[in-house]
Chain A
Amino acid sequence: MNARSRFINWGAAVLVLALPFATHALLGQGWVRILDFALLYVLLALGLNIVVGYAGLLDLGYVAFFAVGAYCYALFASPQFDLHWPLWVLLPMGALLAACFGVLLGTPTLGLRGDYLAIVTLGFGEIIRIFLNNLNAPVNITNGPQGVSLIDPLHVGPWFLEKTYHVGGIEIPLVINIYFLFLVAVGLAIRLSQRLEGSRIGRAWAAIREDELAAASMGLNTRNLKLLAFAMGATFGGVSGGLFAGFQGFVSPESFTLQESVMILCMVVLGGMGNIAGVVLGAVLLSVLPEALRGLGGLQEFLFGKVWVDPSNLRLLVFGIALVLMMLLRPEGLLPARARQREFHESQ
């Protein structure tokens, strides 16, 4: 690593560490919360990137794994069954359970590609959500549409993250504690993604993505490799689901709609499928942008002296236009994988 890239890395590290404090001081709690959610989305997008970006399997039901992780945490750490298991048990458990669901989704879809696969995964996502919605009778497990509330707040060993700590005169409230917990999770996810990408398995996934029939005729066990991609991707979703439940204190089937799956897919595609930096950027941008656009009402008042268009409608319109523009201007994603970039620019 040369001096310049080392400088950039250190700069990025300082920025990431200082960001929540600066945001807290300048924009307030609410914005740090948005950053927390952005990190959860990064985790989800990295997971989906394994399935879509590495193995080339289009998954439109990814939010199901997020839901599995979230309900796993919610049911075992809440008054629902009066269980209060700790985080270090529930996160691996959620990851494992999500992986099992990944295999469950993968098995019937092994022979499917492209659009057909997308339709089945879409159905799977909806099935999970509808199950969660209806598993309150005959035996009440999920509490149905009311969801599970009063979920135990996240705590890591002796540190209760809902407390405000003071370190050397700096106030560290809940949202910043959470930020650092999520940051650790994202860091681990990035490391794992990098390892996977460069591994023998990562290359095999790339081969399946490029030409599945040729991969099979080369002696690749395409069945197991595809199931592994679904399972690995799902674990990321499971972990972020657990973190989400503990952070929110409340989960309901409402949070796991198709729109969420589509959003996560957009993050992966817009950021740059298959490239970790791109996926991270896509997730941060698409989770922060809708919030930033809430300021449109204020902007109108400032420019025209009155609010012309309902800002909540305008926000979605501008967001949609931004998505379309990004796809038109950079169809390969903001930070594409190198090979993909070349393909797009050769054909132009």
Chain B
Amino acid sequence: MNPLLEVRNLCVRYGGITAVDGVDLDVMEGERVTLIGANGAGKSSTLKALAGLVAPAGGGFTYGGQDLQSIPPWQRVSRGLALVPEGRGVFNRLTIEENLLMGAYHRKDSSALPGELDHVYGLFARLHERRHQQAGTLSGGEQQMLAIGRALMSRPRLLMLDEPSMGLAPLMVEKIFEVIRKIAAEGVTLLLVEQNARLALALSDRAYVMESGRIVLVDTAAACMENPMVRAAYLGDGGG
């Protein structure tokens, strides 16, 4: 397997605060990787730096063997690097279908778009029912579905999801993860940032644990689930 994403010594700073402090991270083609960690560990900042939404203060990464540092975010998307942002970021006053089409904004092959829409509606039947409704009227879970669907519209090779379960009812979280599993089964490489470590580890191949901007543990997802430190800190298993 080839590494699709190779992050080396990535640093992100906001003013004097170091959010990401020398992160090394690899994602193989077709792999499902989870980044777990507490609030403020630097997970979201790592994803934002990869998507080009914040400029790294040091280090860098290659994607498909290419250095994308100097490439603006809108061109990263057209190379198959898609981010589902934290807090979903749906466009409230656009309809669901308009939101989805926004995800394919950079695509020149407009004849393929109806097919892409059908693909997303196939994954999320709820969105199809409400496609002419304004996104702001959707529930939180439906907005998360929309945000994921919108990112899929760009036909990503690497899909980065930032806290897809945030603020959702347990039943809805299950549903969202079911779809994420389906997306992975279609061959999309996943980089998942998640607080719900149990669900995230269950669908991942490998996991990185992040603390105060640093990677403190790398292992297979199965091994992480057995790791006493992970169990105590992220799986709510006080007994070890």
Residues of A within 8 A of B53 (CB): 213, 216-217
Flag if A211 contacts B91 (CB, 8 Å). yes
Closest to B107 in A: A219
Flag if A217 contacts B73 (CB, 8 Å). yes
Q: Is A115 an interface residue (CB 8 A)?
A: no
Residues of B within 8 A of A209 (CB): 93
- Asked if A210 meets B91 with Cβ closer than 8 Å, knowing A217-B85, A339-B134, the reply is yes
Q: Is B204 an interface residue (CB 8 A)?
A: no
From 197 to 218 in chain B, residues with beta carbon under 8 angstroms from any chain A beta carbon are none
Cα A342 to Cα B90 with chains together (Å)? 17
Closest to A337 in B: B93
Flag if B91 contacts A220 (CB, 8 Å). no
Cα A214 to Cα B154 with chains together (Å)? 14
Shortest distance from the beta carbon of B188 to any chain A beta carbon, whole Å: 16
Q: What are the 6 closest A-B residue pairs judged by CB atoms, nearest first?
A: A214-B89, A219-B77, A210-B91, A219-B106, A339-B93, A211-B89
Flag if B134 contacts A206 (CB, 8 Å). no
Flag if B85 contacts A221 (CB, 8 Å). no
Flag if A219 contacts B74 (CB, 8 Å). yes
Interface residue from A220, A340, A342, A343 paired with B105 (Cβ < 8 Å): A220
Chain A positions 195 through 231: 1 when the CB is less than 8 Å from some CB of chain B, otherwise 0: 0000010011011011101111111111100000000
Flag if B102 contacts A203 (CB, 8 Å). yes
Residues of A within 8 A of B96 (CB): none
Q: Is B72 an interface residue (CB 8 A)?
A: yes
Flag if B89 contacts A219 (CB, 8 Å). no
From 55 to 89 in chain B, residues with beta carbon under 8 angstroms from any chain A beta carbon are 72-78, 82-83, 85, 88-89
Residues of A within 8 A of B93 (CB): 206, 209-210, 337, 339-340, 343
Chain B positions near chain A (C-beta within 8 angstroms)? 51-53, 72-78, 82-83, 85, 88-94, 98, 101-103, 105-106, 134, 136-137, 147, 150-151, 154
Flag if A213 contacts B89 (CB, 8 Å). yes
Residues of A within 8 A of B51 (CB): 217
10 new A-B contacts, CB < 8 A, other than A214-B88, A217-B77, A218-B102, are A203-B101, A204-B102, A204-B105, A206-B91, A207-B94, A214-B90, A217-B85, A219-B103, A220-B105, A221-B74
Residues of A within 8 A of B76 (CB): 219
Closest to B77 in A: A219
Interface residue from B89, B101, B136, B154 paired with A343 (Cβ < 8 Å): B136
Flag if A214 contacts B101 (CB, 8 Å). no
Could you show 18 A-B contacts with beta carbons less than 8 Å apart?
A: A204-B105, A209-B93, A210-B93, A211-B89, A214-B88, A214-B90, A215-B91, A215-B102, A217-B51, A217-B77, A217-B82, A217-B85, A217-B89, A219-B106, A220-B105, A221-B72, A340-B93, A342-B137
Cα A343 to Cα B74 with chains together (Å)? 30
Residues of A within 8 A of B85 (CB): 213-214, 217
Cα A221 to Cα B78 with chains together (Å)? 11
Flag if B102 contacts A216 (CB, 8 Å). no
From 316 to 348 in chain A, residues with beta carbon under 8 angstroms from any chain B beta carbon are 337, 339-340, 342-343
Shortest distance from the beta carbon of B87 to any chain A beta carbon, whole Å: 9
Residues of B within 8 A of A203 (CB): 94, 98, 101-102
Cα A211 to Cα B73 with chains together (Å)? 15
Flag if A211 contacts B102 (CB, 8 Å). no
Flag if B73 contacts A219 (CB, 8 Å). yes
Cα A221 to Cα B52 with chains together (Å)? 12
Closest to A203 in B: B98
Shortest distance from the beta carbon of B29 to any chain A beta carbon, whole Å: 21
Cα A204 to Cα B103 with chains together (Å)? 10
Closest to A342 in B: B134
Residues of B within 8 A of A211 (CB): 89-91
Residues of A within 8 A of B73 (CB): 216-217, 219
Residues of A within 8 A of B94 (CB): 203, 206-207, 210
- Asked if A218 meets B134 with Cβ closer than 8 Å, knowing A207-B91, A210-B94, A213-B53, the reply is no
Flag if A210 contacts B92 (CB, 8 Å). yes
Cα A158 to Cα B83 with chains together (Å)? 60
Shortest distance from the beta carbon of A227 to any chain B beta carbon, whole Å: 14
Shortest distance from the beta carbon of B111 to any chain A beta carbon, whole Å: 15
Cα A210 to Cα B93 with chains together (Å)? 7
Cα A337 to Cα B90 with chains together (Å)? 19
Cα A223 to Cα B147 with chains together (Å)? 22
Cα A203 to Cα B98 with chains together (Å)? 8
Shortest distance from the beta carbon of A307 to any chain B beta carbon, whole Å: 49
Residues of B within 8 A of A220 (CB): 74, 102, 105-106
Closest to B136 in A: A343
Shortest distance from the beta carbon of B102 to any chain A beta carbon, whole Å: 5
Closest to A214 in B: B89
Closest to B79 in A: A219
Cα A342 to Cα B95 with chains together (Å)? 14
Flag if B92 contacts A218 (CB, 8 Å). no
Flag if B91 contacts A219 (CB, 8 Å). no
Flag if A218 contacts B136 (CB, 8 Å). no
Residues of A within 8 A of B74 (CB): 216, 219-222
Flag if B103 contacts A218 (CB, 8 Å). yes
Residues of B within 8 A of A337 (CB): 93
